[in-house]
Amino acid sequence: MKPISTFTVSSDLPGALAPLRDLALNLRWTWRRQTVDLFRSLDPRAFAASGENPIAMLSQVSAGRLAEAARDDDFLARMRSEVGDLRTYLDSGRWFQRTVPGTQGDGDGSSIAYFSMEFGISPTLPIYSGGLGILAGDHLKSASDLGVPLIAVGLLYQWGYFSQSLDRSGWQQEDYRLNDPERLPVEPVLAADGEQLRVAVTLPGEREVAIGVWKAQVGRVPLLLLDTNVAPNDEQAREITDRLYGGDHEHRIVQEIVLGIGGVRAVEAFTALSGAPSPTVFHLNEGHAGFSGLERVGRRMEDGAGFSEAVAEVRAGTVFTTHTPVPAGIDRFDASQLRSYLDADGSGLSRLIPSLPVEAALALGIEEGGDVFNMAQLGFRIAQRSNGVARLHGAVSRAMFQDLYPGFEVPEVPIGSVTNGVHRRTWTSAHMDDLFKKALGDVDVSSLSDWSALATLTDHELTETRDALRADLVDMAREHVKESWLRRGADEAELAWTDHILDPRALTIGFARRVSTYKRLTLMLSDPERLKRILLDEDRPVQIVVAGKSHPADRPGKEFLQQLVQFADDHGVRHRIAFLPDYDIRMASVLIAGSDVWLNNPIRPEEASGTSGMKAVLNGGLTFSVSDGWWDEMKDDSAGWTIPTAEVADQAQRDAIEAEALYEILEQSIVPLFYERDARGMQRGWMTKVRSSLVKVAPQITAARMVRDYVTDLYLPASRAASAFVADPALAGEFTAWKAGVQDAWSGVSVAGVHLEGVADGSVPTGAEITLVADVELGGLGDADVLVEAVLGEIGTGEEIIDPQLIPLQRGEDGRWTARFALTAPGEKGCTVRITPQHPVLASRAELGLVTTA
């Protein structure tokens, strides 16, 4: 019979167990095994049923079990131990406090605001889609471990990203699940009146949108999550934060307005309420948060600064990270759309951001031609310091955005790089973590640069661990494949075969990432019959486990995914290839740990960095990759295999050549080494390679290293630059006036003549010194306003100077500029003279895009 009403029964925590809620609300439990074990031991069934979500499980534990636990001295002692450990973790000085002068104790009164469209911290907080979010989550965790004073800002999506399944033909299906804040590890930030803190943005038509502020605590780092699904918003406004990467351009613009503009306002309100230090540095993780810079410019203008002065101040304290090596990955909007949202009043000032001049603000992101607003260009123009996410990606980005810095060669474009990393404690399996502790001790391994002690791990220890991790992966894959087939419409009676797919002893290759065309999921299918022979070899079988989602609007990516699923279904290899739908952090932790080899074969150089392979390395997996992303700078033949890149223009031909190389390396190198055994049955050669990977590669790929690099190379210089403006209120005006003067005078700056003394008949003996003399016109500028340099280097193809050496010239008493230097290496050399502006505020000689050469 049907009920006349429904209701939910939930349990209340006894007072003795109240600390469990505090433990559940700090997401440090996601990387601390002992806390997870504590929650699991409370009620294993409820823990599993909740999706291993401590907040959700607490209300599901029976009152009887809670009462029993409240009387259990052993349980209470473990709980108190975990609470004490968390308090020590939160209160103790860490790397940042020990390393950065003036930050002991409560710090130096400043912090970093870190903006990202998504954060992948735990499946219990489903506000991420893939690599960008996972990277952001690992950034927060490592910033917490290192004691970096960081406040993060994102969006609390009502539906998050989609859940993935397949239909009978293998076509991706998307389903969205509602995020109930009551079941999420978040709390409302409370204002002084006890109500949830709200900020607001005003959209065209004087339509005010309220934004509720939630907080997820990630160790020491507060993550502020913005939510428009609040009263008194209308239905349209409530849907702004409905889905991650959903909707059209209009929807994306409004989401990014909420993130950037609403985020700055939320940070200001939160720090005022909590007493946390206000940020001096704003880090934009991709261009989605670019509007935060415009909001900060508007605020400075409200305080009386001019537009140029405000931009100079905001730039000084802003860091921008670009994650895409291809133009198609950049948010680009119709300029007229942005113009309507900035909503100028009769004086040309924005109603969205008070005091901001609309056309001047638009000019920061307008592409040449004036019709398109580019969020990456806004990022570079609003941030004085920027970076790609691997060395190769930094080089690609410098070439992509060279036009923003006219007159400068690609190597001098001021875009650096900080190579991505992964949070070791999150991504190292329990089995492997035990080996780390055995070899290195119970210390924060990420703080160590020397992991050579891992070379002492024995073949037996590594084999035992790798076999256990592979078996875990096989068990998980069997469960997921069976569930997937049930959702595809199969009857359980016909799925007995799913209990026997994969072999816990066979060479296992993992491939999991967002399924887009440039990542070439189907490269392995280039020769189906050859792949089939490799998979079905009776003596040396190979198996492949694949996972990943394609963006709902990416039809070519979906077609790639379908091709792989259909190959597994139709070629008699479904026991050797498993596709696992609905890839998430929990699935990834088992897949990356259980794979013997991690395959990565994107089109070089279209992979910005990639981090999934890094996670495999931490678990003793070996890398099999194109020389792209992070592997390009860390590749080592003793630690993995590199698929050569075909230097041909035709993509089909390139795919064919690289697929052939993939098969060849797999058949001739990887498979034989994996199945090679010594007299004791040990994989001596394979485990030697595993140890090499752990010792040489693993220390370089931690997010702790990454965050330390951000602090040292970007955050601290940005903080000092921003503080200079605070310390000297006149600096912004002085710098702006100087810049305007330089720009006005630059047409009169020239190199009138260059003379080389010590060069006879165009020849110089090796080791001889020569003197360069230049006549320079400065057009009214002073010597201190410019940097005059000799540009010296070898002559390459196209008669260009390559890999130039820059040698400063000094003005002599006769008014001429000179430099003296020795030529130590033989070869054809070229030399010229150039002039660039210089000022203490500038972070790069290319920043103003002004250069004059002889």
| Mean pLDDT of the 175-186 span | 92
Return d(Cα 749, Cα 306) in angstroms, integer. 27
Return d(Cα 505, Cα 508) in angstroms, integer. 9
Query: Is a pLDDT exceeding 60 seen at residue 307?
Result: yes
CA atoms within 13 A of residue 205's CA, in its CB half-sphere? 2
pLDDT for the residue 11 = 65
Rounded to 5 degrees, φ, ψ at 561 are: -60, -45
Return d(Cα 283, Cα 742) in angstroms, integer. 29
640 and 693 in contact (C-beta within 8 Å)?
Answer: yes
Return d(Cα 631, Cα 610) in angstroms, integer. 9
Model confidence at 442, pLDDT cuts 50, 70, 90, reads confident
pLDDT for the residue 106 = 43
Residue 282's DSSP bridge partners are 113, 318
**pLDDT > 90 in the chain, percent:** 86
pLDDT for the residue 637 = 97
Task: Summarize pLDDT for 516-550 with one digit per residue, the tens.
Answer: 999 999 999 999 999 999 999 999 999 999 999 99
Q: Angle at CA 155, nearest 5°, toward 325 and 231? A: 150
21-25, 108-112, 555-559: which has the minimum mean pLDDT? 108-112
| Mean pLDDT of the 662-685 span | 97
Model confidence at 625, pLDDT cuts 50, 70, 90, reads very high
pLDDT for the residue 359 = 96
| Mean pLDDT of the 657-681 span | 97
Task: Summarize pLDDT for 185-217 with one digit per residue, the tens.
Answer: 999 999 999 999 999 999 998 899 999 999 999
* Bond into 605 cis (ω within 30): yes
Nearest to 758, CA basis, from 667, 682, 819:
819
**Strand ranges (DSSP E) for 657-783?**
749-757, 769-778
Q: Would the CA dihedral through 636, 637, 639, 644 be positive or negative?
A: positive
Residue 702's DSSP bridge partners are 422
pLDDT for the residue 102 = 73
Return d(Cα 770, Cα 589) in angstroms, integer. 61
Nearest to 247, CA basis, from 176, 178, 180:
176
**pLDDT > 70 in the chain, percent:** 98
Which three-class secondary structure state does DSSP give residue 829? strand
Task: Summarize pLDDT for 715-769 with one digit per residue, the tens.
Answer: 999 999 999 999 999 999 999 999 999 999 999 999 988 988 888 777 778 878 8
Average pLDDT, the chain: 94
List, as one string, the DSSP characters of 617-649.
HHTT-EEEEES-HHHHHH--TTTEEEEPPP--S
Task: Summarize pLDDT for 818-848 with one digit per residue, the tens.
Answer: 999 888 778 888 889 999 999 999 999 999 9
Per DSSP, 644 falls in state: P
Query: Is a pLDDT exceeding 50 seen at residue 107?
Result: no
Describe the strand order of the beta sheet including 829-837 as a list of residue ranges.
801-808, 786-795, 829-837, 852-853
Residue 820's DSSP bridge partners are 771
Query: Is a pLDDT exceeding 80 seen at residue 104?
Result: no
7-21, 77-91, 461-475, 703-717: which has the minimum mean pLDDT? 7-21
Return d(Cα 455, Cα 691) in angstroms, integer. 5
Query: Is a pLDDT exceeding 60 seen at residue 8?
Result: no
Return d(Cα 561, Cα 708) in angstroms, integer. 37
Task: Summarize pLDDT for 358-371 with one digit per residue, the tens.
Answer: 999 999 999 988 89
| Mean pLDDT of the 497-522 span | 95
Return d(Cα 20, Cα 58) in angstroms, integer. 8
Question: pTM value?
Answer: 0.95
b/e code 700-725 from CB counts within 10 Å (16+ = b): bbbbbbbbbbbbebbbebbbebbbbb
Task: Summarize pLDDT for 389-403 with one digit per residue, the tens.
Answer: 999 999 999 999 999
Which token pair is 803?
A: 């890999």
Angle, helices 459-487 vs 585-594, to 10°: value is 140
Q: Which helix (H) or strand (E) holds 577?
A: strand 577-580
Q: Distances from the Cα of 754 to the Cαs of 80, 818, 819, in angstroms?
A: 76, 10, 11
Return d(Cα 53, Cα 58) in angstroms, integer. 9
Return d(Cα 300, Cα 309) in angstroms, integer. 9
Query: Is a pLDDT exceeding 70 seen at residue 5?
Result: no
Model confidence at 597, pLDDT cuts 50, 70, 90, reads very high
265-269, 378-382, 674-678, 817-821: which has the minimum mean pLDDT? 817-821
Return d(Cα 399, Cα 311) in angstroms, integer. 25
pLDDT for the residue 764 = 79
Q: Residue 803: is it exposed, middle or buried by C-beta count within 10 angstroms (0-12/13-18/19+)?
A: exposed
pLDDT for the residue 105 = 45
